[in-house]
Amino acid sequence: MSVAAITPAPVIGHGAAGARTVRWSAYLIVGIGALFMLAPFWFMFVFATHSRGEIFNLPPPLWFGHDLLANFRLLTQRIPFWLNLGWSLYVALMATVLTLLFCSMAGYAFALMEFRFRKALFGLVMATMLLPSFMNMIPMFMIMDALGWIDQQRALYVPGAASAFGIFLMRQFASSAVPKELLEAARMDGCGEFSLYWRIVLPLMKPALGTLALITFIQSWNNFINPLIVMRSLPNYTLPLAIRSLQSTMNTEWGALMCGSAIATIPLTVLFAITSRQLIAGLTAGAVK
């Protein structure tokens, strides 16, 4: 991927004081910007450990308090938290597995096989990427209603499982990482088409599969609009929807709300901390090409 090939940063002038000033002001600006990015997260985690009364103090608390457990208990009383967390995990995992399977199959076919309407179909894939998401809102509800999938988790992971972005990513990678000659040789040796895909193509596509898995998991975990449209009952909600339902009452329990938001954020933050490089490269891959 071209992103990975980092060119050396430009050479800084001849050790002049001016260059040092530029460098330090860059550190300062980028550093302040980073604080600006992190500050809301800081307050979310701090507020998650304070009672509602303490959050509404002037000035608001800047450091951790002692009410994390109380907030968590309140959270589990108001919503079936573990159930919601479980559904979020289940939906995200199912979405990831199905997306990897379907997108790698389609991407492989689009990249390395000859068939009728190949170009036209791939054009169609690209076109769906440009379609505004609000176009789907109403018909999606009606389809789910017609299928009897309202309030069912499969409505959340099936429709997006052959995502245009995923197919695009897989096709790009397959066409550069899977040598055609290897496939021909394997076919000569009597390798069937399916084991060709399963034993040769898939292992070669591992890096791209990893990236797509991350992106799909994150999107599914954070998804708000689809559950909003199809899910009906609190015990079936995924986490974002369940947490949001906490704030609709007049007496919002801010401590519990922050605690829930923090818990919903932590898994992704950890995942991201480990994989940020690969993820960022994957998400910007389409752009740099």
- Judged by CB under 8 A, the chain residues 55 through 84 that form the site for another protein are 55-60
The residue among 70 and 263 lying less far from another protein, judged by its C-beta, is 263
- Is 178 a residue that touches another protein (CB under 8 A)? no
70, 89, 97, 105: which one binds another protein (CB under 8 A): 105
Consecutive H or E run containing 207: helix 206-222
Judge whether 282 and 169 are in contact, CB under 8 Å. Answer: yes
- Is 90 a residue that touches another protein (CB under 8 A)? no
The residue among 22 and 69 lying less far from another protein, judged by its C-beta, is 22
- Is 198 a residue that touches another protein (CB under 8 A)? no
The Cα 248–Cα 88 span in angstroms is 21
65, 70, 76, 159: which one binds another protein (CB under 8 A): 159
The stretch near another protein (CB under 8 A) out of 73-81, 89-97, 172-180, 257-265 is: 257-265
- Is 237 a residue that touches another protein (CB under 8 A)? no
The residue among 82 and 194 lying less far from another protein, judged by its C-beta, is 194
The stretch near another protein (CB under 8 A) out of 20-28, 64-72, 77-85, 173-181 is: 20-28
Judge whether 72 and 132 are in contact, CB under 8 Å. Answer: no
Task: Work out the number of other CB atoms within 10 angstroms of the CB of residue 43.
Answer: 15
| x/- map, 264-283, another protein, by CB under 8 A | xx--xx--xx--xx-xx--x
Judge whether 67 and 50 are in contact, CB under 8 Å. Answer: yes
Of residues 114-133, which lie at the interface with another protein (CB under 8 A)? 114-115, 118, 121, 124-125, 128, 130-133
CB of 236 to another protein, least distance (A): 17
86, 192, 203, 235: which one binds another protein (CB under 8 A): 192
The Cα 145–Cα 160 span in angstroms is 17
Q: Which residues contact 166 (CB under 8 A, 6 or more apart)?
A: 99, 102, 103, 107, 212, 215, 216
Judge whether 119 and 181 are in contact, CB under 8 Å. Answer: no
Q: Which residues contact 36 (CB under 8 A, 6 or more apart)?
A: none
Consecutive H or E run containing 53: helix 52-55
Helix (H, G, I), strand (E, B) or coil at 238: coil
Of residues 210-229, which lie at the interface with another protein (CB under 8 A)? 218, 221-222, 224-225, 229
66, 73, 180, 187: which one binds another protein (CB under 8 A): 187
Judge whether 217 and 235 are in contact, CB under 8 Å. Answer: no
The residue among 109 and 178 lying less far from another protein, judged by its C-beta, is 109
